[in-house]
Structure 1
Amino acid sequence: MTSRPTPRRTVLAVAIGVVVAAVSSSAHAAPRRGPQRPVGPHGPDGPEDGTADARTDADATASAAIDYHGWASCRDWRSGTAEGTRVETGDRPGVVIDHPISTTLYTDPHTGARTAWEYAAWTTPRYTLPVPASEAVVSWNAHTPPGTWLQIELHGTYTDGTSTPWYVLGRWTSGDAEGDIRRTSVDDQRDGRSSISTDTFAMDAAAGPLRLAGYELKITLYRRPGTALTPTVWRLGAMASDLPGRFTVPASTPAPAGRRELKVPRYSQEIHKGQYPEYDNGGEAWCSPTSSQMIIEYWGRRPTPADLAWVNPAYADPQVCHAARYTYDYQYQGCGNWPFNAAYAATYRDLRGVVTRLGSLNDAERLIGVGIPLITSQSFLATELDGAGYGTAGHLMTVVGFTAKGDVIANDPASPSNAAVRRVYKRRQFENIWLRTKRYNASNKVVSGTGGICYLYFPVDLTADQRRVLGELGIR
């Protein structure tokens, strides 16, 4: 198990009106295969025995408690507050620096470099959530030429009318050229009622029934003084949710639309074990970038030979090493930052990436039915997923199809070779380990489940059916 000098993420799925006590699971799960976000007991509930949880009223409203809202069109960009930015039109509208509004000094905590940067900013209108939320994940799509970077912030309003601080959800650049900042999340942000854990806003236990009622997002675009360079931001959005605390989820009925298998490339993370310790050493730590690379290549994008020239030529699948390098979060010290993976995918030509939640496997089937694979995050004991051969406190894999019976066809990067990546997992087992918000770890402690988190990557040019299904999931 890989140790970390900084605290692990301690969020996910605060049950409505229940006091939550944080309990770390990282010391008990083996092996670690991805980002771990442990939380503690969510109050009394039945055992994890594969039956439907008693809180069926909460199950019925789980999907309604998930909201993704994004800004990506010319109309969206013109609706916000511009401070030195302007809208660029075209097939992929975005905001860029028109003129800097000021200059600031930034000391990079990972290099020690203290550098002057000029900047402009853009802020969304305040967005009121249809259902108050206990957590939120912000994601963005952008291009940052060398010598530029972005800061992404969230400012929330609580249900009692008070406000959060301006929380930093990332300082991000697509590259790592000499003189660039290091891509980083920001620790130690809290106000006694909510806090930021790597990439996730979450209400704290002490807040009780208090929830996030709405928010505004701000993106600040930085460049070296005196240059004409500018980042371009194509998409900015957030997934907010307030899921019920539950060990099990209701069983869904297989849908005919998903009975197909998409031709997604298959890559193993395990063949990279020990490669590039500076990017978390390959193997079990690279499930996110390996999964991301599979979907990026499904859409016909991949790094150029020049992009890959830095990779040791003795290493197979150098594009996986490349994905790990350019998703690496220098504060988290790993490649599992959810929005950093989505942002990496969107650096490829006309590709978009979002982090959201889905409410059921039927939602996944609808995506598969129109040719959109997805990347899911789940945690489980080895006994809970037949055929996996491992247990994990957090692991990403790609869902590429469904069998005629409705079982899940997954490209699981936690496989010994590329040839072994394709797996068929039992529908009921997969459904539960992905969608639940509570589980028992190997020490029989109650810790968090991932609650249906997923990455969705898709091109700018979509079919009418793809656009319709994404729109039905709130992604426009």
Structure 2
Amino acid sequence: MTSSAPRRTVLAAALAAAATAATPLPATADTPHHSAPTPPRTKNPVDYHAWTTAADWHQGAARGTHVAPGPRPGIRIARPAGTTDYHDPHTGTSATWEYATWTSPVHRLPVPAAEAVASWNAHTPSGTWIAVELRGTYTDGSRTPWYVMGRWTAGDGDTDIRRTSVDDQKDGRSAVSTDTLALDDPSTGLRLTAYELRLTLHRRPGTTLTPTVWRLGAMASDIPDRFEVPPSTPALVGHELHVPRYSQEIHKGQYPQYDNGGEAWCSPTSSQMIIEYWGRRPTPQQLSWVDPTYADPQVCHAARHTFDYQYKGCGNWPFNAAYATTYRDLQAVVTRLSSLNDAERLIHAGIPVITSQSFLKTELDGAGYGTAGHLMTVIGFTPTGDVIANDPASPTDPAVRRVYKRHQFETIWLRTKRHDAEGKVKSGSGGVCYLYFPVQPTSGQRRVLRELGIR
């Protein structure tokens, strides 16, 4: 049913923070990084920060890149800094690429974090690709290695690499699991106090092609360890957005090379629903590879173009966000929200919310299934505050619209810990969501996004 489950369970220990949700003190010469906690924090435990404007890009360190001007400024290759050889583990081929880099300033976190997820918006013409890396600073002043958070290209043709996450990245205190950098044992008090991001843009030698990166950011968070969450009080309710309905289940068995076919396509199916809500869709030429007897070929297209060749699935969070921004004038971020009240504000402003959750069949009335990890789309709220969701794990397109009990939904989405059917402790997403919205949002949309830390 989902493709995001396998590596999310790996994060079970990493998602655990102190039950008191305390913020650690910076280490001193007399205080090792694993020492006593400090008083409870009062700031938002989630920080999303991005570089998007010309002024932002000029703050970074460029090696061979320049800022492309215009209404949507971005980083492009100006004059390559050099060449590098890359062996693609998924094709078995090696090639030489010209490259240039851009490194962000250090971003200091308002609340030290136990996790970080990078995301980006980019144009990568055939024959180009980007690598996104993150380096964090620990509370004791030492730093992580440069962790690869993704090697991304929109295509998968003969001149392209295969988009991929990178396994086996760790330093003994933190590690990357597909798309998430997490501390090995947050109960020690160790946290990340800052991070910087590095972009490496690649192209075939001798060409003038270049990737363009319009948005580069990361969500860093320190969500407390919790099996339950306090219920929110309904506020902006009684509103529903008109979002297309697509079932992943009708694609079962189609293109099994992409995560065993449609039964695991919850993430790209959700992404495609929201892309089309904003009036974008693939062209007939882009869909020409899909068997013409298949319904909703755009869902097959989304699965193919979000597929992570290392993870062997379509549930890589930032890869879905990056896919959404291959469509004209769309932006996308991966972040966390604190409650359904945040989702209400977004819905009221006209912005649907793709949420990540895991649950037993008995924990979500009306779903009819259990899952170790699943993406669905919040499109509205009933007058009493229950959640209206487009759930792609439905047998047909018309059956996709569901109404779920508010507190049940909020719990399975916001918790960081849960018990599986065997009673074992597993991880939850802690409120992870994808937000897709126009490059030029309305003033109301811009205000709500800004209030949620997204600009």
Please give the range of the TM-score, normalised by the shorter of the 2 chains: over 0.9
Corresponding residue for residue 233 of structure 1 = 213
Aligned CA distance change for structure 1 residues 88 and 286 (closer, same or farther; 3 Å): same
Aligned CA distance change for structure 1 residues 324 and 232 (closer, same or farther; 3 Å): same
Corresponding residue for residue 133 of structure 1 = 113
Q: Residue 238 of structure 1 aligns to which amino acid in structure 2?
A: A
Shift of 1:281: 2.5
Corresponding residue for residue 302 of structure 1 = 281
Q: In 2, distance between residues paired with 1:2 and 1:369?
A: 28
> Of 410, 435, 448, which residue of structure 2 is paired with 1:469?
448
Match status 1:14 vs 2:9: no
Shift of 1:7: 6.6
Q: In 2, distance between residues paired with 1:415 and 1:7?
A: 24
Matched residue of 2:239: which SS? coil
8 Å Cα contact 1:434-1:452 kept in structure 2: yes
Matched residue of 2:182: which SS? strand
> Of 164, 179, 187, which residue of structure 2 is paired with 1:199?
179
Matched residue of 2:15: which SS? coil
Match status 1:267 vs 2:268: no
Q: Residue 180 of structure 1 aligns to which amino acid in structure 2?
A: D
Corresponding residue for residue 187 of structure 1 = 167
Structure 1, unpaired ranges of 5+: 19-56
Give the ranges of 4+ consecutive aligned residues of structure 1 lying more than 4 Å apart after TM superposition: 1-4, 6-9
Structure 1 length-normalised TM: 0.89
Matched residue of 2:50: which SS? strand
User: Which runs of structure 2 are paired with 1:220-259 in the superposition (5 Å)?
Assistant: 220-255=200-235, 257-259=236-238
Match status 1:110 vs 2:111: no
Shift of 1:205: 2.1
Corresponding residue for residue 96 of structure 1 = 76
Q: What do the CA deviations read for 1:388-425 (whole angstroms, capped 9, x no partner)?
A: 00000000000000000000000000000001000000
Shift of 1:450: 1.0
Q: What do the CA deviations read for 1:442-465 (whole angstroms, capped 9, x no partner)?
A: 001111111000000000111111
8 Å Cα contact 2:2-2:263 kept in structure 1: no
8 Å Cα contact 1:9-1:197 kept in structure 2: no
Shift of 1:280: 1.4
Corresponding residue for residue 24 of structure 1 = none
Shift of 1:206: 7.9
8 Å Cα contact 2:2-2:265 kept in structure 1: no
RMSD, aligned CA: 1.8
How much identity, in percent, do the aligned residues show? Answer: 71
Shift of 1:354: 0.5
Q: In 1, distance between residues paired with 2:125 and 2:9?
A: 30
How many residue pairs match? The answer is 434
Q: In 1, distance between residues paired with 2:121 and 2:309?
A: 19
Q: In 2, distance between residues paired with 1:82 and 1:213?
A: 24
8 Å Cα contact 1:223-1:229 kept in structure 2: yes
Shift of 1:89: 1.3
Matched residue of 2:309: which SS? coil
Q: In 2, distance between residues paired with 1:328 and 1:167?
A: 20
Structure 2 length-normalised TM: 0.93
Shift of 1:209: 1.2
Q: In 1, distance between residues paired with 2:247 and 2:200?
A: 36
Structure 2, unpaired ranges of 5+: 20-38
Match status 1:178 vs 2:163: no
Q: Residue 317 of structure 2 aligns to which amino acid in structure 1?
A: W
Match status 1:386 vs 2:365: yes
Corresponding residue for residue 38 of structure 1 = none
Corresponding residue for residue 40 of structure 1 = none
Shift of 1:208: 1.8
Corresponding residue for residue 140 of structure 2 = 160
User: Which runs of structure 2 are paired with 1:263-412 in the superposition (5 Å)?
Assistant: 263-412=242-391
Q: In 1, distance between residues paired with 2:11 and 2:206?
A: 41
Q: In 2, distance between residues paired with 1:409 and 1:293?
A: 18
Q: In 1, distance between residues paired with 2:346 and 2:385?
A: 14
Corresponding residue for residue 448 of structure 1 = 427
8 Å Cα contact 2:268-2:306 kept in structure 1: yes
Matched residue of 1:64: which SS? coil
Corresponding residue for residue 22 of structure 2 = none
